Amino acid sequence: MRANELVLDWNAFARLFQETCRVAARHRASDADEFNHLAELFGNDPAHSGKLAREYISGTNHQLLITNLQSPISNLQSFVLNNALHPFLAAFAREHQALIDDAAWYRADCPVCGGEPDFAALEKESGARRLLCSRCDTEWTFHRTTCPFCGEQEPEKLGYYPGGHGAYRLYTCENCKRYLKTIDLRELAREVNLPGERVLTIGMDLAAANAGYA
């Protein structure tokens, strides 16, 4: 998907943008002022919200030139955009994923929207690694021995930590200090919903952050 191809109900997106800010403000008191300010600045302006969404899809590093907001605002803005866009991009991906030649892709970015992965699974039969897009929930196959964030392949810089349950692993890269939560389907008899697992494993995110991974 090219950013200029993104067409959706921008009024509905603006409303969801605002609601995401409000929910985040209630649950992250330390950032409440910034979230509320974002909601006021962009939630009532569908055209501006659409511009931000297209920049986000194209990978533009959002920098708001507003002096009375704290420096972490770019991260908070990306958080809001990701969550507000997610249902729209997921619907788009469901319609278009059948057009993707999974065997020919093997790239670190999502074949549908270009997003980064935030979860992965090792397939039950082959052990191949499938990545899950953080923006649209598309799944695609990628090398197990390559960091999907920086391309690192040196074994001494790549590792993993077992989770509390044998099926979960936290893969880490010492080159870029990023991590990827992974579930080994060979260890499970039950069916797995990867987007749901993203939420169920938040404890792994906290452990990774405490260990210095981003």
What pLDDT, on a 0 to 100 scale, did the predictor assign at position 71? Answer: 40
- pLDDT > 60? residue 69: no
Tokens of 116: 């980064």
How far is the C-alpha of 186 from the C-alpha of 189, rounded, in Å?
Answer: 8
Q: Which residue has the higher pLDDT, 189 or 181?
A: 181
- pLDDT > 70? residue 62: no
Percent of the chain topping pLDDT 90: 55
How far is the C-alpha of 116 from the C-alpha of 133, rounded, in Å?
Answer: 6
pLDDT band at 154 (very low <50, low <70, confident <90, very high): very high
3-state secondary structure the chain: CCHHHCCCCHHHHHHHHHHHHHHHHHHCHHHHHHHHHHHHHHCCCHHHHHHHHHHHHHCCCCCCCCCCCCCCHHHHHHHHHHHHHHHHHHHHHHHHHHHCCHHHHCCCCCCCCCCCEEEEEECCCCCCEEEEECCCCCEEEECCCCCCCCCCCCHHHEEEEECCCCCEEEEEECCCCCEEEEEEHHHCCCCCCHHHHHHHCHHHHHHHHHCCCC
- pLDDT > 90? residue 155: yes
What's the mean pLDDT in 105-122? 92
Lowest mean pLDDT among 19-28, 30-39, 51-60, 170-179: 51-60
Q: Which residue has the higher pLDDT, 107 or 53?
A: 107
CATH number for the 101-210 domain, one of 3.90.1670.10, 3.40.50.10490, 3.90.550.10, 3.90.79.10? 3.90.1670.10
What pLDDT, on a 0 to 100 scale, did the predictor assign at position 104? Answer: 85
pLDDT band at 27 (very low <50, low <70, confident <90, very high): very high
How far is the C-alpha of 17 from the C-alpha of 11, rounded, in Å?
Answer: 10
Residue 137 CA, distance from chain mean position: 9
159-170 pLDDT, tens digit per residue, is 999 876 789 999
What's the mean pLDDT in 105-124? 92
Domain with CATH 3.90.1670.10 in the chain: 101-210
State which amino acid sits at residue 13.
F
What's the mean pLDDT in 120-147? 94
